[in-house]
C-alpha cells in the first residue's frame, strides 16, 4: 500500500545511489543536503504513519530494512572514501555487526510472536549515527567536521554495542 509514510521510506532507498554518487564525486555540500533530506524521511515516515493512522504491514516491514540498508551503505561509503578508514573502521564493524545481528534476531523471533520494540536508547543511537554520518559527509568541504564525525561514530558504536546487548539479553530466553 503506497501511503505517504511508505513513499517517504521508499524515497530514502531510491535516493541512496544518488547520495553515494555525490559523496564519491566530491560534491560534499550537495551530498550533505541530500543526506539531510534522507535523514528527515527516516524520522518523518514513522511519525506520519502514527499521526495519520497509516501504519501498514508493508511499512512495518520496509522501514527497518530501509534504515539498515541506508546506514550500512553510507558507512561503507565513508570507509571507502576515507573519513572512516584506518582504526575508525572498528567502530563501523561494531555498528554493522549489531545491525545485522539484531535484524536477524527480530526476524527469527517474529514467527514466535516475540516483540522487540525499539527502545529510547536505540533511538538516541540512531540519532548519534545520523549526526556522525552528516559530519563525515560534509568533512571534505569542512575539515573541522572530520574529528567530530569520527568521535561521534565511536560514541554511536558504543551505544550500538550496548543496545545490541540489551536486545540480545531480551531475546535470548526465546531462542530455545
12-27 per-position pLDDT tens digit: 999 999 999 999 999 9
Does position 176 have pLDDT exceeding 90, yes or no?
A: no
What domains are defined for the chain?
Answer: 4-175 (1.20.120.1760)
Averaged pLDDT for residues 143-172: 95
- Residue 76: CB atoms within 10 A of its CB come to 15
Which parts of the chain fold into alpha helices (H)?
A: 4-25, 28-51, 57-81, 89-109, 120-138, 144-171
**135 with 148: CB under 8 angstroms?**
yes
**134 with 35: CB under 8 angstroms?**
yes
Determine the pLDDT at residue 103. 87
Percent of the chain beyond pLDDT 90?
75
What does the pLDDT look like over 69-82, one tens digit per residue? 999 999 999 999 99
Averaged pLDDT for residues 120-128: 93
Does position 116 have pLDDT exceeding 80, yes or no?
A: no
Indicate the pLDDT class of residue 152, thresholds 50, 70 and 90.
very high
Averaged pLDDT for residues 47-59: 90
d(CA 94, CA 43): 23
* pTM, to two decimals: 0.92
Determine the pLDDT at residue 1. 75
Which residue in 149, 125, 120 sits closest to 136, CA to CA? 149
Indicate the pLDDT class of residue 132, thresholds 50, 70 and 90.
very high
d(CA 66, CA 62): 6
Find the helix packing angle between 28-51 and 57-81, rounded to 10°: 160
> Which contiguous run of DSSP H or E holds residue 86?
none
Determine the pLDDT at residue 125. 95
Does position 117 have pLDDT exceeding 90, yes or no?
A: no
Does position 59 have pLDDT exceeding 90, yes or no?
A: no
Amino acid at each position: 500500500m503506497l501511503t505517504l509514510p511508505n513513499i517517504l521510506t521508499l524515497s530514502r532507498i531510491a535516493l541512496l545511489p544518488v547520495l553515494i554518487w555525490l559523496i564519491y564525486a566530491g560534491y560534499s555540500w550537495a551530498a550533505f543536503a541530500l543526506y539531510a533530506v534522507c535523514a528527515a524521511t527516516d524520522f518523518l515516515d514513522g511519525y506520519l504513519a502514527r499521526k495519520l493512522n497509516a501504519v501498514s504491514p508493508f511499512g512495518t516491514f520496509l522501514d527497518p530494512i530501509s534504515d539498515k540498508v541506508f546506514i550500512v551503505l553510507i558507512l561503507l561509503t565513508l570507509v571507502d572514501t576515507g573519513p572512516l578508514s584506518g582504526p575508525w573502521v572498528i567502530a563501523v564493524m561494531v555498528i554493522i555487526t549489531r545491525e545485522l545481528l539484531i535484524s536477524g534476531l527480530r526476524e527469527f523471533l517474529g514467527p514466535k510472536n516475540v516483540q522487540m520494540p525499539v527502545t529510547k536508547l536505540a533511538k538516541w543511537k540512531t540519532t548519534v549515527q545520523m549526526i556522525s554520518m552528516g559530519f563525515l559527509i560534509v568533512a571534505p568541504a569542512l575539515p573541522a567536521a572530520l574529528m567530530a564525525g569520527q568521535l561521534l561514530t565511536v560514541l554511536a558504536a558504543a551505544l550500538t554495542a550496548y543496545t545490541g546487548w540489551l536486545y540480545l539479553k531480551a531475546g535470548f530466553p526465546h531462542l530455545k
